[in-house]
Amino acid sequence: MPNVVEDREVPALRSFSFGGGWQSTAALVLAAHGELDYRTFLMANVGNDSEHPGTLRYIEEYARPFAQSHGIELILLDRIMKRTGEVRTLYQDLTRAGSRSLKIPVRMSNGAPGTRSCTASFKIKVIADELKRRGATADRPAVVGIGISLDEIGRANNRRCEPHERIEYPLLERGIRRADCARIIQRAGLPVPPKSSCWFCPFHRPEAWHSMRRDEPELFEKACQLEQLLNRRRDELGKDHVYLTRFARPLHEAIPDGVDTLPFDEFDTGCDSGWCMT
């Protein structure tokens, strides 16, 4: 009688969207300790010239060695242009000659954020393409963990994914808050990482801009120069100016040197999708 080999269902690919901040680093620790079922962590890197330098340093000095020592795959993914095969960063997209693109949520003259495509193009699509490359399909979607904590539940949005992905929020499911994430990281013997984001992100709170002007003046000046470049192009097109803060003033005026931010400022909680700033 011939041997019958039973068909065994191959488990769906499970990955975690790693942002380099408190929540996703806490998730990495929990996965290393067997408390979360993810062995692959994927970070869509918007560019070594675009991610905040502190985040990139933390990943290389702490997160990547920690993941490796616990048998976890932590991969940084670049955005690759399909036609040319070149790596394209968000900062390059904003500054390249002839570009009219405003992919980031710059603030309009009334302080409201404009439309943006940076998250879709440089985060969601980059990870989605990698999962598809690894075999994810609409019939067998990959599971993607998103690092939104309980105190940021408003950022959870199950609609923002590709057909071959299924989103999970493991920190929400476990009632883990942002402050809990710091404790989880510290108990693992790791320093708490800086908040992750692009250094020029218009979703920065004013206190973040003040800290940058005080502690990273060269980076702050570079952000001012980027804002000026965008507005020179707006002038050429006969369009209103845009800003990196909601104050409808140039960055160097909106964030004066040596002035502290008011403590009750609670605006601008960041990208609501959860793919950034976790």
- In this predicted structure, what is the pLDDT of residue 260? 56
- In this predicted structure, what is the pLDDT of residue 258? 73
For each of the chain's 278 residues, which pLDDT tens digit applies? 444 444 445 567 999 999 999 999 999 999 999 999 999 999 999 999 999 999 999 999 999 999 999 999 999 999 998 889 899 999 999 998 877 778 899 998 888 888 888 988 999 999 999 999 999 999 999 999 999 999 988 888 765 678 899 999 999 999 999 999 999 999 999 999 998 999 999 999 999 999 999 999 999 999 999 999 999 999 998 999 999 999 999 999 999 987 655 444 444 455 555 556 67
Kindly state whether residue 125 falls inside one of the protein's structural domains: yes
Interval 40-52: pLDDT, tens: 999 999 999 999 9
Kindly state whether residue 157 falls inside one of the protein's structural domains: yes
Helix axes 22-32, 178-187, angle to 10 degrees: 50
Contacts 24+ apart (CB under 8 A), 55-61: 55/20, 55/21, 55/193, 55/194, 55/196, 55/197, 56/20, 58/20, 58/191, 58/193, 58/194, 59/20
Kindly state whether residue 204 falls inside one of the protein's structural domains: no
List the CATH number of the domain containing 30: 3.40.50.620
- In this predicted structure, what is the pLDDT of residue 99? 78
Kindly report the three-state secondary structure assignment for every residue of 165-180. EEEECHHHHCCCCHHH
Kindly state whether residue 267 falls inside one of the protein's structural domains: no
- In this predicted structure, what is the pLDDT of residue 7? 44
Give the pTM.
0.88
Kindly state whether residue 216 falls inside one of the protein's structural domains: no
Kindly state whether residue 260 falls inside one of the protein's structural domains: no
- In this predicted structure, what is the pLDDT of residue 235? 93
Kindly state whether residue 266 falls inside one of the protein's structural domains: no
Kindly state whether residue 40 falls inside one of the protein's structural domains: yes
- In this predicted structure, what is the pLDDT of residue 5? 41
- In this predicted structure, what is the pLDDT of residue 10? 56
The domain tally of the chain equals 1
Domain that holds residue 42: 14-80+121-199
- In this predicted structure, what is the pLDDT of residue 277? 63
